[in-house]
Amino acid sequence: MVVFAAMSEQLLSKEALDPIVKKYYLQLNPPSLEDNTADIDRIKKYLKSKLAIDNIYVSLKDIARFSKILRQANFKATVAILNELHRFRLIDMEAGDTTDRNYGIAVDLGTATLMFYLLDLNTGKIIDQISAYNPQIKFGEDILTRIHHAGKGNGLKELKECIIDSFNRHIKLIAEKNHCSLNNVYVLAVAGNTTMTHLFLGLEPATICREPYIPIINRPDLFLASEVNLSISTNGHVLVFPNVGSYVGGDLIAGVLFSEIYKNSKISILLDVGTNVEVVLGNSEWLIACAGAGGPALEGGAVKIGTMASQGAIDKVRINPATLEPTYSTIGNTKPKGICGSGLIDLIAEMFLSKIIDSQGKVTGNLNSHRIVKTHEGMGYVVAFKEETAGGQDLIISEADISVLLRSKAAMYTILTTVTSMVDIKFQHLKQFFIAGTFGNYLDPKMAITIGMIPDIPIDRYKLVGNSSGLGACMALLSNKKRKDISRICDGITYVELNVNTAFMSLFNAARFIPHTDRSLFPSVKM
């Protein structure tokens, strides 16, 4: 709960609370011969005259129901009004005063992970948060496999139904756990990458991965949750974050919204590490975005002992250079089950600083240590012996694992180098460097600098924003101003394709060393 309070505060500090759905308790005068306004018009008239809410749409199918509730409640009832920006929509009516029950759910729809945030729209507070694997994983770990699956027979339908089903289960779970009726969950905001968004909407993603890489849609309009079989309030709506291109999706736009780099006159960068590495660079005048491969290792996907940043994951590691013995902490302080992204970065950095590995990631340290063992994939280092682990197996990182990680970090550094060079910006000129993504919560920037993953700039310029996609999605539900900013961001952003050309490959190869072949780029890394 402390975490939620902190996150809520962070959200509310940025913009005044002005949620997408508001509830009002109406105490209407019953009709009379002198005041013969029709039932639905009576509600609209009240909202206009007392609350200055004009241009309110009521769906045909709701007219009879709302009129009945209103009359049964003796004209004292609560309405829920959705702000569609260009007009309002009366989405619910309940007898009596139910204004205190007004909820929304924000979802970070990741290729690997789903994160659900339950929001009290009246207070702007995050009530709870749950995460889950994206169940589409059973059809393919990565985006390309899923796009491929979508093209086969019933594939698209399967992928869509499985994600919707998971949404429904988790929405129900988080609502029930917090004693919120699904009838009072009026809105969902979903931020995902372009492919995940297409699959969620049941749209064929084939053109996304084929030149010239064209999504079917970038900016879907608000729609009824029932249109995709999501079970929230009858007229609950879904806000899907817009994409900018096939590889810059709504999740990144949500991150931009949260980090507010689009509002700052000084140049900042947002680095979002999920399944891809996504970067937005710019300020209030301009924004450029690009994306590249490089993520999975850092999400714990490609490394044998890697795991999600969840309970039991080692998130911090230190190694005594004299004894080569590690100390570590785990999320939730339980027995370790694996190592998450931030833990892996710590581990490589510490192995390097304690000279277990050299700048190429090869084990060259004291081969007599009981921590250093042979594996099927080269030499390895035992982070935790089986006696202390949750799974009862040694947690060993091998040279092969390290090589994968170094490729990942090299990709990330090369993307950062490339994108800044494009606009002739030096890393030193960045005033803020936001790091987002599931591992962004736990990352130690000093360690990431040590391995040469991120540039060697003053530590205080790094801002760990955690799940900025999820929090950006929350923000869109809490502030109509922020929601309008989404279009502004999309209008102003330029999507650049990173051509993996010779120049890129040469930069990449130079970046595969710890911290880099050009040590002058990392003056703070001493060993």
Q: Which residues bind a second copy (CB under 8 A)?
A: 31-33, 35-41, 44, 55, 57-61, 63-64, 67, 86-87, 201-204, 207, 211-221, 223, 227-228, 243, 245-246, 495, 497
**Phi, psi (degrees; rounded to nearest 5) at 107:** -130, 130
User: Collapsing DSSP states into helix, strand and coil, what is residue 236?
Assistant: coil
Q: What angle do CA 210, 167, 441 make, to 5 degrees?
A: 80
In whole angstroms, the minimum distance from the beta carbon of 428 to a second copy comes to 32
| H or E segment to which residue 239 belongs | strand 237-240
**Residue with the two structure tokens 């992928």:** 159
* Minimum gap (Å) between residue 321 Cβ and a second copy: 49
Q: How far apart are CA 157 and CA 137, in angstroms?
A: 15
Our CB check for a second copy shows the closer of 131 and 231 to be 231
Contact present, 361 and 514 (Cβ < 8 Å): yes
- Least distance in Å: CB of 153 to a second copy? 17
- 18 DSSP 8-state letter: B
Among residues 133 and 213, whose Cβ is nearest to a second copy?
213
DSSP state, residue 306: B
Q: Residue 383 is encoded by which pair of tokens?
A: 């982070």
| Residue closer to a second copy (CB basis): 29 or 327 | 29
**Residue 117's beta-bridge partner residues?**
106, 129
β-strand partners of 327 = 318
Comparing CB distances to a second copy, the nearer of 453 and 490 is 490
**Closer residue to a second copy, CB minimum distance, 212 or 392:** 212
**Cis-peptide into 212, omega within 30 deg:** yes
Closest CB 150 distance from a second copy, rounded Å: 12
Contact 362, 399 (CB under 8 A): yes
Min dist CB 99 to a second copy, Å, is 24
Q: Minimum CB separation from a second copy for residue 298, in Å?
A: 27
Both structure tokens of 89: 């929509």
Residue placing its CB nearer to a second copy in the complex, 155 or 515: 155
Query: In whole angstroms, how close is the CB of 242 to a second copy at the nearest point?
Result: 9
User: Quick check: helix, strand or coil at residue 212?
Assistant: coil
Name the residue nearer to a second copy (CB basis): 59 or 264. 59
Between 37 and 329, name the residue whose CB sits nearer to a second copy.
Answer: 37
Q: How far is the CB of 231 from a second copy (least distance, A)?
A: 17
DSSP string covering 145-192, please? Answer: HHHHHHTSTTHHHHHHHHHHHHHHHHHHHHHHHTT--GGGEEEEEEEE
